[in-house]
Amino acid sequence: MAEQQRRRPGETREKLMNAALALVGKGRHFASLGIREITRQAGVVPTSFYRHFRSVDDLGLQLVDELGLVLRRMMREARANVLQADKLIEESVGIFVAHAQANRSFFLFMAQGLAGESRAVQEGIRSEMRFFASELANDLRRLRLADHLSDADLDLTCDLVVRTVAFSLTDLLSVSEDDDYQVGQVRKRTTRFLQMVFVGAAHWNSSSA
């Protein structure tokens, strides 16, 4: 009936995922989204949803996959841009904040998913964080910045770093997107948190023996 223009494959699928993200970005919680709501936002008929996803949770899982890509992009940029070791933390936090701002909805979704209602989404996000932490550990090892730490202690440190940053996400996402002052505050605070963690790591074995 309504004219059906030729569609690039996967287009509606993208539209649906973006619609879910958009709603999350608008302040809704992912766990409270419904199929009809998402399709309405996407400008698509409800039935189409089932062509691509079995349920809202399923869509969530696929969002986690995309989130993985976003995180990898961020990591790549961080690796390319960290020039001097002494500004390493500051610059990394800066890159993180910039990405979080540029992909606000995505990171909002991530923060929500950590205590979300779908066990699978939760585990997916957790697993992305583990991956991130292990990559960080590799980098630190390669740069020989933590030679005095055992592998286990280095992992511990990186896990703590990732957690701290992840928690900062909730700070960052709860201030207005363009309140530069507040955003700066979060950045400074996060930087100091990480500095403290690294000071702890630097003195770890000598103090905990």
CB nearer a copy of itself, residue 148 or residue 203: 203
Q: Show Cβ contacts of residue 60 under 8 Å, excluding neighbours closer than 6 positions.
A: 20, 30, 113, 116, 118, 120, 121
C-alpha distances in Å from residue 106, one per residue of 17, 44, 65, 101, 112: 11, 22, 11, 10, 10
For DNA, the closer of residues 11 and 179 by Cβ is 11
Q: Rank residues 17 and 108 by Cβ distance to a copy of itself and give the closer one.
A: 108
Q: How far apart are CA 152 and CA 76, in angstroms?
A: 24
Residue number, 10 or 184, with CB nearest to a copy of itself: 184
Question: Are the CB atoms for 77 and 95 separated by under 8 Å?
Answer: yes
142 binds, among DNA, a copy of itself, none (CB under 5 to 8 A by kind): none
DSSP states along 131-197: HHHHHHHHHHHHTTS-TTS-HHHHHHHHHHHHHHHHHHHHHHHHS-TT-HHHHHHHHHHHHHHHHHH
Distance from C-alpha of 88 to C-alpha of 73, rounded to nearest angstrom: 18
The footprint of DNA on residues 23-42 (CB under 7 A) is 34-37, 40
Contacts of 126 (CB under 8 A, 6+ apart): 114
Query: Which of residues 38 and 173 has its CB atom nearest to DNA in the complex?
Result: 38
Which of DNA, a copy of itself, none binds 201 (CB below 5-8 Å, type-dependent)? a copy of itself
Q: Which of a copy of itself, DNA, none sits in contact with 6, Cβ below 5 to 8 A by type?
A: DNA
φ, ψ of residue 153 to 5 degrees: the values are -70, -35
| Using rule CB under 7 A, residue 201 touches DNA | no
- How many residues touch DNA (CB under 7 A)? 27
Residue numbers at the binding site for a copy of itself (CB under 8 A)? 27-29, 31-32, 108, 111-112, 114-117, 119, 122-123, 126, 156-157, 159-160, 163-164, 166-167, 170, 173-174, 189, 192-193, 195-204, 207-208
Taking CB under 7 A as the rule, which mask of x and - marks residues 44-83 in contact with DNA? xxxxxxxxx--xx---------------------------
Residues at the interface with DNA (CB under 7 A): 1-4, 6-7, 9-13, 34-37, 40, 44-52, 55-56
